[in-house]
Amino acid sequence: MDPSNSDPNHQSVDPGSVHVEPGPGQAAPGQRICPSCQRPVPVDAPECPHCGQRLQVWEDLPRPFPRPSRFRAVNARQSSGRLITPYLIGANLFMFILEILLSGGTNITNHAALRLGVSLPLGAIISTGQYWRWVTACFLHGGLMHIGFNMVALYSLGPVTEQLYGRSKFVSIYLLSGIAGYLLSSAAGETSLGASGAIFGLLGMLFVFGRRQHLLGAGGIRQQALFWLVLNLVFGFAFPGIDWHAHVGGAIGGIVLSWLAGTGQSQTAREERLWRGVELACVGLTAFCVVLMLVTGGRILG
């Protein structure tokens, strides 16, 4: 005789109907783990209901990065507006047109590059006081192939990085990475120009995001960023005429600054105001350096 049938207080329970609440670090179907508090949250939630951590959901990522099933930046304050990447591309194209006009063709002359702000060896920078060249050089290029390759890279990497970090962090770290690249380039005695240092900074930002973020697909971003970092650095080492110092400096700048900036977009209003201030300072510095280029750029040619 089954004892359970003789006990009036006993009720049979269907094992399939038992609901077990997931513990920390465990997620049920339709949920995922908050990277901050490690508690399960709905997979499409814009923020964690337990700790307030802003979350992101994956949709399509532009090549060369992997395309998880979904990626969508959910920070409406930063991702709903226009991307700044096209304006950066436009600024580079505008400066290249000026180079063409001064050179009389697409073969950019040394005169045009010097006049518009190519980066110089550190001794020349200090003796002339033209430190603004570390900024203006980020927007100059040596020919059609040079600007074409860099703008394709910026077009591919810029929107991804901008959506992951938000506009303010993206603009700030992009410009500061470019400056870091030319600081190292000048210290190595190079005369150089191009947006490559800043673009290497974007690769550094993507590597850090993939390294520190716990979202689905972040590991793929880290691997792809590391692959392209190593491949382009090897390419720069192997072929003469490429200023690998600017590449290394830009990559280091992007990695260090994005690591200090934290993972992804600003998490608090205070942090957002801070990075908006940094962004305005960087844009203001760039405009100031352009003015100095227009006023004093020709003095070194004498």
pLDDT more than 70, % of the chain: 74
Characterize the bridge pairing of strands 71-72 and 57-58: antiparallel
Amino acid 12: pLDDT: 52
pLDDT tens digits for 181-202? 999 999 999 999 999 999 999 9
Amino acid 27: pLDDT: 62
Amino acid 262: pLDDT: 80
pLDDT tens digits for 25-51? 566 777 777 765 677 888 777 777 877
Characterize the bridge pairing of strands 31-33 and 40-42: antiparallel
Instruction: List residues with catalytic annotation.
Output: 196, 247
64: pLDDT strictly greater than 50: no
Q: Residue 138: which residues within 8 A CB-CB, separation 6 or more?
A: 175, 178, 179, 182, 194, 195, 197, 198
Mean pLDDT of 259-275: 82
The domain that holds 260 is classified in CATH as 1.20.1540.10
Question: Do the domain assignments include residue 2?
Answer: no
Amino acid 232: pLDDT: 80
Total count of domains within the chain = 1
Measured distance CA(206)–CA(11) in Å, rounded: 56
Question: Do the domain assignments include residue 179?
Answer: yes
Question: Do the domain assignments include residue 157?
Answer: yes
Range of 166's domain? 84-301
Amino acid 11: pLDDT: 53
| 14-28, 38-52, 86-100: the lowest-pLDDT one | 14-28
Amino acid 25: pLDDT: 52
Question: Do the domain assignments include residue 280?
Answer: yes
Per-residue CA distances from 80 to 60, 72, 87, 162 (Å): 16, 11, 16, 12
- Residue 68 neighbours by CB distance under 10 Å: 17
